[in-house]
Structure formats: structure tokens, C-alpha cells
């Protein structure tokens, strides 16, 4: 119950403050807080406003003119590059899954000599695949900021390579199942 009374008292104090300050006007409140020399000078043309003098009230009244800014252009090239990076990540997942499936059959071995060291442990293999995927993603994203052509060539080459590796894995799995 005390919390409600406290929040009611706080709301009443805020309402009283608003009712006292608002009728006083912004110029009166600002004038009491700052000296005229401390106030920033407003350039009406730069702000998109038109200033007109009103004889009935002191100071200026401002009329807002709409300022039309063009919408930001959709960066298709950047979005397409990010899409190729996501496809590279998806191909890495497909490579992991197809390699794990192919290695279930007797007589099948990993062809990559570096990955053959970790492929027998599923957690180590997943960690290495995750680390290399993250490394490629962030490295190619950074390269794209510096040299777009090289980043595109590298990403498309990596996607083609992983596509071939997955195709090879699926071919091996199909041959082993049909044996």
C-alpha cells in the first residue's frame, strides 16, 4: 500500500511541476536558467525553419517546413555479399553433417589431412568447423570493406569448393549405401 501512495505522491509532484513550468513558457524558463550570451544561435535556414516576428509575443515563433531527405539506398551489393557468407556457413554445416555420415561406413576416411586429425572426435571436429567458419566469415567481411573484388572471388571460390566437397561426400554415402 505504501508503494502506491509514494508513486501517487510522485505523480502528483510531477504533474504540479509540469503545470507550473508549462504556462511560464519556454523563454521564461530558459531565460531564468541561461543568460542570453550562453544560448546557441539558431540558424533558421540551416535547421529548415522559417522565423517570423510576431508582434503580440516577445521573441520569435517558428514554423516548421518539412525537410525531405531521401531514404537510404538499399545496399544490394553488400547484402548479396552477406548472403554469400551465410551460404558459406550453411555449406560448412552441410560439410560437417555429410562428413560425419560418410565416416560411419567402413573403409571411408577423411581426405583432408588436417581435418583427419580431429574428425574422429565429434566435439573437436565441430569446434574446428565452427572456428574456421567464424574466421572465414569475419575475415571475408573485413576484406570486403577493403577490397570488394578479392572478397567476392574468395567467397565464391570457397562456396564452390565446399559445394564440391559436399557433392563428393554425398556421392560416397550413396555408393556405400548401394553396396
Q: What is the pLDDT of residue 74?
A: 61
With the C-alpha atoms ordered 38, 39, 40, 45, is the resulting torsion angle positive or negative? negative
Between residues 135 and 54, the one the model is more confident about: 135
Tell me the mean pLDDT in the region 106-111.
Answer: 91
SS3 46: helix
What is the pLDDT, as a whole number, of residue 176? 92
The cell for 162 is: 565446399
Task: Read off the pLDDT band of 38 (50, 70, 90).
Answer: very low
Give Cα separations from 172 to 30, 84, 132, 163, 164 (angstroms): 79, 26, 24, 14, 12
Q: What is the pLDDT of residues 2-27, one digit of tens each?
A: 434 445 555 555 444 444 444 444 44
Looking at the chain, the whole-number percentage of residues with pLDDT higher than 70 is: 59
pLDDT for 79: 87
- What secondary structure does DSSP assign to 71-117, as a single string? PPPP-HHHHHHHHHHHHHHHHHHHHHHHHHHHTTSTT---S-TTGGG
Q: What are phi and psi of 107, to 5 degrees?
A: 90, -5
Give me the sign of the Cα torsion angle 122, 124, 128, 134: positive
Is the confidence at residue 116, as pLDDT, over 50?
Answer: yes
**Half-sphere exposure (Cβ direction) of 101: Cα atoms closer than 13 Å:** 17
Alpha-carbon span 67 to 44, nearest angstrom: 12
Q: What is the mean pLDDT of residues 69-76?
A: 65
What pTM value is reported for the model? 0.58
**62 strand-pairing partners:** 51
DSSP 155: H
| CB atoms near residue 109 (< 10 Å) | 8
Write down the domain spans for the chain. 2-64, 76-177
Query: What's the rounded mean pLDDT across residues 105-132?
Result: 92
Residue 103: per-residue pLDDT = 93
Amino acid at each position: 500500500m505504501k508503494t502506491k501512495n509514494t508513486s501517487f505522491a510522485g505523480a502528483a509532484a510531477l504533474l504540479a511541476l509540469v503545470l507550473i513550468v508549462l504556462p511560464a513558457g519556454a523563454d521564461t524558463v530558459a531565460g531564468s536558467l541561461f543568460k542570453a550570451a550562453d544560448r546557441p544561435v539558431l540558424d533558421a535556414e540551416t535547421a529548415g525553419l522559417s522565423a517570423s516576428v510576431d508582434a503580440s509575443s516577445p521573441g520569435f515563433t517558428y514554423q516548421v517546413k518539412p525537410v525531405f531527405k531521401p531514404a537510404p539506398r538499399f545496399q544490394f551489393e553488400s547484402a548479396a555479399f552477406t548472403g554469400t557468407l551465410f551460404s558459406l556457413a550453411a555449406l560448412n554445416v552441410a560439410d560437417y553433417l555429410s562428413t560425419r555420415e560418410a565416416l560411419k561406413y567402413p573403409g571411408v576416411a577423411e581426405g583432408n589431412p588436417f581435418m583427419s586429425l580431429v574428425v574422429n572426435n565429434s566435439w573437436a571436429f565441430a569446434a574446428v568447423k565452427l572456428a574456421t567458419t567464424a574466421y572465414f566469415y569475419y575475415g571475408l567481411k573485413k576484406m570486403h570493406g577493403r577490397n570488394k573484388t578479392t572478397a567476392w572471388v574468395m567467397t565464391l571460390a570457397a562456396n564452390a569448393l565446399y559445394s564440391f566437397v559436399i557433392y563428393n561426400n554425398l556421392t560416397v554415402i550413396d555408393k556405400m549405401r548401394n553396396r
